[in-house]
Structure 1
Amino acid sequence: MIKESCIENFSDALNAQKSGADRIELCENLAVGGTTPSYGTIKTCTEKLNIPVFVMIRPRGGNFVYTPEELEIMKMDIDCCKQLGIQGVVFGLLTENDEIDLENTQMLIEYARPMQVTFHKAFDELSDLTKGLDQLIGMGVDRILTSGTKATAQEGSEILNQLISYSKGRTIIVAAGKVTKSNLPTLSKAINTNEFHGKQIV
């Protein structure tokens, strides 16, 4: 099982590694759902940690509809991650109609390679989850972070299992939503994935 710890500074990342996290999702400003961390934070994590680091690429809190200028910022942040040898990046782009921004998502996926790409919980705002899943699989997304549209992974477990079954291994569904060290054993039995994500997962 992969335990991805969502943290917002180097100290917490180091503690998560010591506590048994298998991977870090590195953010800042978790109060608004996470934004891109500083260059210095990313660089220090790559130098001091022994586990993979996935970096949030999100220029601000709020919605997931981005201007051309914000997309350029995201590309520059992706460049930094590439230069520093980061293993993966995390982003999500939507349209005003709660659909995936296909053109810009495809552009950023291709721009981010050879790093792995996770489409984050913006996925849960889609009006049609299976359509979105097909689109992301078609674009080659490695992972989708989701709580099955619910507040918690426990509440979303039925939808999560439907998504996992539908994806047939074509992408990895990472279960999120109040996943903690204490409820992980129960959730791992209830949800048919081996990747879980949480702020208190270790």
Structure 2
Amino acid sequence: MTRGNATSLASHNGSDLHGIPVVEICVEGLDGLLAAQRGGADRAELCASLVEGGITPSMGTVKQALRLAKIPFYTIVRPRGGDFLYSETEFQTMLDDVEMLREIGAPGIVIGCLTADGRIDEERMKALASKAGNMQITCHRAFDMTADPHEALEALILCGVHRVLTSGQRNSALEGAALTAALVEQAGDRIIVMGCGRLNVDNIAEVRRLTGLREMHFSAPMQQPSAMIYRNLQVGMGGTDADREYRSTVTNPDAVRATIAAARA
């Protein structure tokens, strides 16, 4: 990606170069996307299974999102939870998913592949970017697991990635603000740095002030009880919390709305 492309991409995707940040909401499934949309999100990252950090949603989910969404959404391509060092069969699955997403008209993908020594796997990232064609490409928080974030940022630029998601390699955006600010300066207009990491209504404005971010990313989860009347608490479909079968995590549009307002205050 040449210098200047990130600026035009920012305008294309809603970034306001006069100081109003773009806000992307990380959501699980179509209902989460629609809730983020109601809350005023500029864009969504569409995932399945946020309890695992987000994995690839079904193609049916993406097709329905294309029919119903009024905001752009980027689909995560991640075959499993855990680390970002993928087997060859997992990587081939990612290539196929990207190709299918491109063919059905998905606007963007969210990807990340690392080598065992904590570097960006440039060969695989370039192959995924090639499959993506004209789709927008975000590197997710695999970036935060790299050994040298400054080197990793340059590698992503070489791979043709349009934006990188980071908490400054810390658990929270506030903790990682110094590194994020340095990455924003390093990136210039070559790639968009999008901040994340426990952002909420109380801290998002401060993080923006400390870092100079023009794109910010957060989730706004809330627990929703199941509508099931009959419940067999003797059986759990996963984990040890049997009651987990009778509640789900959904996006809270009110929290989305309030946090966006705080970011833009």
TM-score clears 0.5:
yes
Report the count of equivalent residues: 202
Paired amino acid for 2:74:
F
**Higher RCO, 1 vs 2 (CA within 8 Å, ≥6 residues apart):** 2
Alignment partner of 1:163 is 2:183: yes
Alignment partner of 1:124 is 2:124: no
* Residue 59 of structure 1: aligned partner: 79
Could you give the per-residue CA deviations for residues 3-51 of structure 1, whole angstroms, max 9, x where no partner exists?
Answer: 1000011111101101110001000111111100011111111110111
Instruction: Structure 2: state its 5+ residue gaps.
Output: 1-20, 221-254, 257-265
1:81 paired residue among 91, 97, 101: 101
- Whole-Å Cα distance in 2 between the matches of residues 86 and 15 of structure 1? 19
Alignment partner of 1:5 is 2:18: no
- Whole-Å Cα distance in 1 between the matches of residues 81 and 95 of structure 2? 17
Could you give the per-residue CA deviations for residues 121-169 of structure 1, whole angstroms, max 9, x where no partner exists?
Answer: 0101111111111111112210000000000111111100001101112
* Residue 163 of structure 2: aligned partner: 143
1:42 paired residue among 57, 62, 83: 62
TM-score, normalization: structure 2? Answer: 0.74
2:34 paired residue among 4, 14, 32: 14
* SS of corresponding position for 1:24: strand
- The alpha carbon displacement at 1:80 in A equals 2.1
- Whole-Å Cα distance in 1 between the matches of residues 60 and 203 of structure 2? 33
* Residue 115 of structure 2: aligned partner: 95
- Whole-Å Cα distance in 2 between the matches of residues 15 and 49 of structure 1? 10
Alignment partner of 1:192 is 2:212: yes
Q: Which runs of 4+ in 1 moved over 4 A?
A: none
- Tell me the C-alpha RMSD between the 2 structures: 1.2
* Residue 110 of structure 1: aligned partner: 130
Could you give the per-residue CA deviations for residues 55-87 of structure 1, whole angstroms, max 9, x where no partner exists?
Answer: 000000111111121111111111221122111
- Whole-Å Cα distance in 2 between the matches of residues 185 and 18 of structure 1? 21
CA distance 1:181–1:84, shift in 2 (3 Å): farther
2:53 paired residue among 10, 30, 33: 33
- Whole-Å Cα distance in 2 between the matches of residues 163 and 52 of structure 1? 25
- Select the structure of larger CA radius of gyration: 2
* SS of corresponding position for 2:123: helix
